[in-house]
Amino acid sequence: MRERFVLFVARSFTGEMLRSAQAITRLENVALLGICEQPNTSDVFVDVAHVADTHDSNKLIEAARRLQERHGPLNKIVTTQETLLEPVAQTVEALELNGMSVATVRRALDKSLLKATLEQAGIATPRSLVFTSESEARSFVDERRLPIVLKPLNGSGALATWCVRDEQQLELALELTKPSSMRPLIAEEFFSGEELCVDTITIANEPRFHSVCCYRPSILEAVENPSIQWRCVMPRDISDRRYQQFIAHGLAAVRALSVGDAMTHMEGFLNESGQTCFIDATLRPAGARIAPMLAFAYDIDPYFVWARVMLDGSFDGPWERKFAVGTVFLRGTGSGKIESVEGFETAQRELGTLLMDHRLPQVSVEKAATYTGDGYVTIRHPETQAVEEALDFVAQTIRITYSQAPAHETLRENWTKRLQYNQLYKPIWEISYQR
């Protein structure tokens, strides 16, 4: 049998990307090739091509063809990086390979196409408008009233998502974004409630596995309030009645998106009356440490699971959800560089075997710009309440000192910085830590 040549694309082969690449090499009859921007120090690749910009589909196609000339026909091209899903799909189509199509990727990542697809399937989304001028935005506000949420059509990490609460903020948002036919934005009605996500493994368009995770507080609240230590909580029992409608609508949404063989991640809200509203989707393993949390909840290797799905079209479950798992993302008040981290030894001693994983903030590193903070601690216990209490304890015990007092940014300065979401979406530990 001919060896399968699998091409994995990432900006750099570190952290989560490297773990995914390593998982591919554990599949049967696979030789792994790579395309990246930065020098590769990993020995898991048979060959690696370097390009200046992995988001440039023309460069990807050229590099893939060079690798194909050296090693023979490629079987698959994959990535786990959201912003690379479309250029990888374009490369797949250019080389006439089997894989996720450009249309499939856009249906999920383009927020206007996502909403149209879900609404056609009868799944609630916030009322919205894609606008290309200030007058269109003002008409939407006149009709829906403030507050509204503004975001780019293909944003990543929520950093360029703003809640506009008054006319002055609307003026600023329109001034900074300058909406036009070349720079469309989407305006949504503001929907409050508990923010949740549903993660799935889908084979031939049918979800074969699902998991629910709760965001505490919502991502937007965490983005807007730099002192909040944001948390993800994976309850052990997801058969609880309060989750059932959210799960049912989430699975229906995945079916409507026709994703083929994929791991998907969808985010939405559940309000007190049980109404659901979905706001975002992607076709990759979840970020925010959710993939490792799945490992702790089910005692599985989520990276190998992803590789089996994407390259073998196979699901090896079902699995038993044995534990509740939660992660608190560490950050504090202040700005500049991290000077000290205190309290971890106390937390470690008190929590004992509940503490499953951690990355402490690294001294001398500049404070992270994202809501996922400067580090994290992950907790596991059979009871969800015990996990919640442990996360509270960690948040109260670990303290970070920075080199400067809290930065008193104006709203203009804050929003201008957040417009750089393409540069800021990567968590700090994926940059600072190579493990």
| C-alpha span between 249 and 426 (Å, rounded) | 29
Q: What confidence tens digit (pLDDT) does each residue in 403-428 have? A: 998 878 888 888 887 776 544 355 65
pLDDT of the residue at 153: 79
**Which of 418, 410, 199, 164 has its CA nearest to residue 309?**
199
Q: How many CA atoms lie within 13 A of 158 on its CB side?
A: 19
Do 131 and 88 fall into the same domain? no
Task: Give residue 6's Cα distance to chain centre.
Answer: 24
Give residue 205's pLDDT: 96
Q: 423 in a domain, yes or no? A: no
132 and 217 belong to one structural domain? no
pLDDT of residue 433: 41
Do 174 and 209 have their domain in common?
A: no
* Pairwise CA distance, residues 110 & 282, whole Å: 10
Do residue 345 and residue 329 come from a single domain? yes
pLDDT score, position 429? 52
Exposure class string for 114-151: b at 16+ Cβ within 10 A, else e: bbebbeeeebbbbbbbbbeebebbeebbeebeebbbbb
pLDDT truncated to tens, each residue of the chain (435 aa)?
568 999 999 999 988 899 999 999 999 999 999 999 988 777 899 999 999 999 999 999 999 999 999 999 999 999 999 999 999 999 999 999 999 999 999 999 998 999 999 999 999 999 999 999 999 999 999 998 999 999 887 765 566 788 999 999 999 999 998 999 988 999 999 988 999 999 999 999 999 999 999 999 999 999 888 889 999 999 999 998 889 999 999 999 999 999 999 999 999 999 888 899 999 999 999 989 999 999 999 999 999 999 999 999 999 999 999 999 999 999 999 999 999 999 999 999 999 999 999 999 999 999 988 889 999 999 999 999 999 999 999 999 999 999 998 878 888 888 887 776 544 355 655 554 443
Strand-by-strand arrangement of the 76-78 sheet: 47-50, 30-36, 4-9, 76-78
Q: Find the domain containing 350 and state its range.
A: 194-418
Together in a domain, 294 and 156: no
Query: What's the predicted TM-score (pTM) here?
Result: 0.91
**Residue 435: per-residue pLDDT:** 35
| 325 part of a folded domain | yes
Are 77 and 25 in the same domain?
Answer: yes
CA 65 – CA 73 distance, rounded (Å): 9
The residues, ordered by sequence, that sit 6+ positions from 414 with a Cβ below 8 Å of its Cβ are none
Segment 201-233, tens digit of pLDDT? 999 999 999 999 999 999 999 988 888 999 999
Q: Which among 189, 223, 240 is the end of a domain?
A: 189
Tell me the per-residue pLDDT of 315-345, one tens digit each, with 9 for 90 and over. Answer: 999 999 999 999 999 999 999 999 999 999 9
Task: Tell whether 57 and 171 lie within a shared domain.
Answer: no
Looking at 136, 160, 189, the residue that finishes a domain is: 189
**Which residues make Cβ contacts (< 8 Å) with residue 30, sequence separation at least 6?**
3, 4, 6, 24, 311
Max CA distance (Å), the chain: 66
In a domain, 104, yes or no: no
Start-to-end CA span in the chain (Å): 34
The pLDDT score that the predictor gives to residue 424 is 39
Question: What is the model's pLDDT at position 156?
Answer: 56
Same domain, 199 and 181: no
Domain for residue 110, yes or no?
A: no
CATH code of 24's domain: 3.40.50.20
In a domain, 211, yes or no: yes
CATH (domain of 344): 3.30.470.20
Q: Do 178 and 218 reside in the same domain of the chain? A: no
Cis peptide leading into 361, omega within 30 of 0?
no
**Do 160 and 228 fall into the same domain?**
no
The answer as to whether 117 is a domain residue is no
CA nearest 257: which of 82, 126, 118, 90?
Answer: 118
169, part of any domain: yes
| CATH number of the structural domain spanning residue 164 | 3.30.1490.20
Q: Mapped to the 3 state alphabet, what secondary structure does the chain carry? A: CCCEEEEEECCCCCHHHHHHHHHHCCCCCEEEEEEECCCCCCCCCCEEEECCCCCCHHHHHHHHHHHHHHHCCCCEEECCCHHHHHHHHHHHHHCCCCCCCHHHHHHHHCHHHHHHHHHHCCCCCCCEEEECCHHHHHHHHHHHCCCEEEEECCCCCCCCCEEECCHHHHHHHHHHHCCCCCCCEEEEECCCCEEEEEEEEEECCEEEEEEEEEEECCHHHHHHCCCCCCEEEECCCCCCHHHHHHHHHHHHHHHHHCCCCEEEEEEEEECCCCCEEEEEEECCCCCCCHHHHHHHHHCCCHHHHHHHHHHHCCCCCCCCCCCEEEEEEECCCCEEEEEEEECHHHHHHHHHHHEEEEECCCCCCECCCCCCCCEEEEEEECCHHHHHHHHHHHHHHCEEEEEECCCCCCHHHHHHHHCCHHHHCCCHHHHHCCC
- Domain match, 75 and 204 both: no
Q: 176 and 220 share a domain? A: no
Q: Which of 189, 207, 227 is the last residue of a domain?
A: 189
In a domain, 145, yes or no: yes
pLDDT computed for residue 427 by the predictor: 60
Q: Number of structural domains, the chain?
A: 3
